[in-house]
Chains A and B, each alone.
Chain A
Amino acid sequence: MQMEHLTQSRREFIQGVSILAGSTLLLSSFPWLNPLRASSQTSMSANSRVRIGIIGPGSRGQMLQQILQQNPHVEIVAVCDNYQPNLDKSVAMLNGKVKAFTDYRHLLDIKDIDAVVIATPLHEHAKQTIDAFSAGKHVFCEKSMAKTIPDCKAMYDAGRDAGKILLIGHQRLFNPVYLTGMEWIHAGKLGAITQIRAYWHRNNDWRRNVPSPELERIINWRLYWDYSLGLMTELASHQIQVANWALKETPDSVIGIGGINHWHDGREVHDNVALIYNYPSGTRLIYDSMISNKHYGLEEQILGPKGTIEFEGNRYYSENPPPAPGILQLINNFEKRVFEAIPIGGASWAPELASTDKGVAIINQYPLPDDTTLQMEGFVQAIRESNPLEGLAEEGYNSSVATIMGHQAMIEGREIKWPSEFKL
């Protein structure tokens, strides 16, 4: 049995959660973290277990399954996939002790399933989510929400009407670096935000192995418009969510251009995109993504008159240089009410220029708990305690709508405004 190993990593994880749960400040700013506080205090002997069904245990779905398998408060009751190799793998991960389906509606028929995890291709999210709410289940659905704005709205409304939790997989909402950095941003540490830049660059064809040609569209669904909106829904949606979160608003409009300039291999979706989102405050999100160069990797840069935050790199840069070491000592002494000589009188020759500033870490504590694990923990705890993840369905909806608007702007070659009937 693997339990010994799982318990070990679980213990480390719980220690990590206490970083978050220990911060009253974070809990009051981000109400959806409240269920996690209980998680770090609850004993490991579970009394109530959340019964979960997994729909679509492909690569991402299996990762979520593995995280949930380590959670003693979870019982995975059923799994469902219409691609047999993935279904077999998922069942094997549970040593066969799980019900297996190829049609998700049969999974939803199981009365005592509390919640479903949906990790299917994008075009299936809306129907599966709405059906799950009709069957009385809570839903965790991978990002992005859906392919069309009306579908997103229908999912959101269905969850609200059913009184069930809808969590879209934007795991940065549970990431300690983001939570701390957002706390700083909202407290004005950067001044009012004047620009956000974000990018996601990879250098690969974004393809998965296809065992036989007729499976191309099923396996590589991300490459075709029928199933996906490409880089926008699969990558950009995360970073648009970060921009919305930082600004505490949603974009009014977007312009953008996208196309294929490298991977001429029969795919339909763009392999490079460039967009500008316009926010009511006058701030712009300048966004681009490509998959033919990975030198710059990925980043979200939040810029204000007093400083810069780079979330992916866990860095904060002040527009002012850090104080001299002697001055720092003086300031620390004040706090301790100490009077002593500070080393300061030196001959300074070498100018210290801001351009060489390496910044400081937003969070200095390692290892930090994995954000996807925290997200799934939050989902499970919220169900156990009937404590809704306040504000998160809205975060998921708003970033998904903005993502789809960006796609429309590129396809239609015009500025797309947020449709008023789809404002929350």
Chain B
Amino acid sequence: MTTRKDDIKKDPLLFHDNFMAMNTRLDMVIIGKLPDESQKIFNQAKNEVARLESLLSRFIPQSTISLVNAKAHEKPVLVDHETWEIIMTCKKYHELTKGFFDITSRPILAFWRENLEKDSLPNEIRDICGFSRLILDENKRSVFFPVRNMELDLGGIGKGFAIERINQVLEQNHVEHALVSFGESTVSTRGHHPYGNCWRLGIQHVYKPAEHVYTVDMQTSSMSTSGCNPTNQLESTKKCGHLINPITGYPVSGTGTITVVSGSALEAEILSTAFWVMDRDTIEDIIDNFDLQAIIKISYDESFQSKVEEIRVKKT
């Protein structure tokens, strides 16, 4: 294996390519590997993401999750070891976030996506959501829905899982410097930029995406951003149909973003979404359950001025 460890400044051996997965774009930048080798690593990562998607996607009829969604209200559905581990990870984060992360909330999301102007959530939808309703048998690795029309949806965290897998591929191939961006909302880095001592990422201005409001210096770390902007919220109430509070079942209002930087891409992705729908007290309440490098909240007033709140910034 030929690796160019020294001299990345003189010849950074930049490789870039991208592919579509999980309905969005994944960009990979690899530094310091010969082109053939980078291409091989890229292909390996791409295949791994495709494999994961074929397990977890509810849009793929043959996926494990689709099978669960189709059959688990009739009888317990046995799942493979890998999917079971993923469901167990979701359970852990459901508990650590006091229920603010919940992979059974899709019917509520689907309702608000179509009915953002309405005032109340129908009971029949609320009654088919909630992780605690699931009947999980750890011995058999089976999932059972006690009520009809329940659903598992890993769409919100699939990107986090995928980046974790890509990081494993990079590790196995001894890639020292790399950047992986999944839909630009979750970015993972290794090592540093060839002409700097870190990767310097800018959190985008929601009204001016070519500009950034805050910069985060990262080495081997992951950053995930969630939030609402004018393109996806109801103008009158600033409510956003894709981010709901799973405890109340209602969408939250406000324009802005929350960015979480963590050693784990999965954790960053889960928490950026969960923190967005939590109040500040709840965040403070659970924050010590995690080892986070930064939590940055950016809000915007009516004249589009940004306000940065460093909820947590760990100085290194």
Contacts and interface: CB of A to CB of B under 8 A. Distances in A.
Interface of A: 320-321, 323-327, 330-331, 333-334, 337-354
B202 A341 contact: yes
Contacts of A320: 17-20
Contacts of B211: 343
22 contacts: A320-B20, A321-B20, A323-B16, A324-B18, A327-B29, A327-B181, A333-B195, A338-B195, A341-B202, A342-B200, A342-B202, A343-B204, A343-B209, A344-B202, A345-B216, A346-B184, A347-B225, A348-B185, A349-B242, A350-B232, A352-B24, A352-B25
* Dominant secondary structure of chain B at its interface with chain A: strand
Contacts of A330: 29, 179
B195 A339 contact: yes
B203 A346 contact: yes
Nearest to B12: A334
B200 A341 contact: yes
With most chain B CB atoms within 10 A of its CB, the pick from A339, A346, A348, A353 is A346
Contacts of B202: 326, 341-345
A331 B195 CA distance: 12
Contact of B231 (A325, A339, A341, A350): A350
B204 A346 contact: yes
Contacts of B216: 345
B262 interface: no
A345 B182 CA distance: 10
Contact of A324 (B25, B227, B232): B25
Contacts of A331: 14, 16, 29
A401 to B, nearest CB: 40
A327 B27 contact: yes
Contact of B181 (A326, A334, A340, A354): A326
B227 A347 contact: yes
B69 interface: no
Given A324-B181, A324-B184, A349-B231, A344 B204 contact: yes
Nearest to B214: A345
Contact of A345 (B179, B193, B204, B242): B204
A354 B227 CA distance: 25
A191 to B, nearest CB: 13
Given A323-B18, A326-B184, A345 B24 contact: no
Contacts of B128: none
Interface string B235-271: 0000000100000000000000101000000000000
B146 interface: no
Nearest to B226: A347
A383 B233 CA distance: 68
Nearest to A327: B27
Nearest to A330: B29
B57 interface: no
B299 interface: no
Given A321-B25, A343-B212, A348 B16 contact: no
Interface string B188-226: 000001111000111111100111100110000001011
B228 interface: yes
B289 interface: no
B150 interface: no
Nearest to B205: A343
* Dominant secondary structure of chain A at its interface with chain B: loop
B23 interface: yes
B183 interface: yes
Contacts of A343: 202-205, 209-212
A334 B11 CA distance: 10
| A-B pairs with lowest CB-CB distance, top 4 | A339-B196, A346-B204, A348-B183, A339-B195
Given A346-B257, A347-B229, 14 more contacts: A323-B16, A324-B27, A334-B14, A342-B202, A344-B181, A345-B184, A345-B223, A345-B257, A347-B257, A348-B185, A349-B231, A349-B232, A351-B24, A351-B183
Contacts of B210: 325, 343
B163 to A, nearest CB: 14
A346 B25 CA distance: 14
With most chain B CB atoms within 10 A of its CB, the pick from A323, A342, A344, A347 is A347
A345 B14 contact: no
A354 B20 contact: yes
A343 B298 CA distance: 14
Given A321-B18, A348-B24, A352-B25, A341 B212 contact: yes
Contacts of B227: 347
A342 B179 CA distance: 12
A349 B185 CA distance: 9
A345 B25 CA distance: 14
Nearest to B298: A345
A43 to B, nearest CB: 44
Contact of B201 (A325, A341, A348, A351): A341
A406 B196 CA distance: 62
Nearest to B243: A347
A110 to B, nearest CB: 60
Given A345-B204, A348-B24, A327 B16 contact: yes
A326 B180 CA distance: 12
B217 to A, nearest CB: 9
A109 to B, nearest CB: 63
Nearest to B215: A341
A344 B201 contact: yes
A340 B184 contact: no
B20 A346 contact: no
A331 B210 CA distance: 15
A148 B268 CA distance: 71
B277 interface: no
B45 interface: no
A157 B302 CA distance: 79
B72 to A, nearest CB: 27
With most chain A CB atoms within 10 A of its CB, the pick from B181, B205, B206, B226 is B181
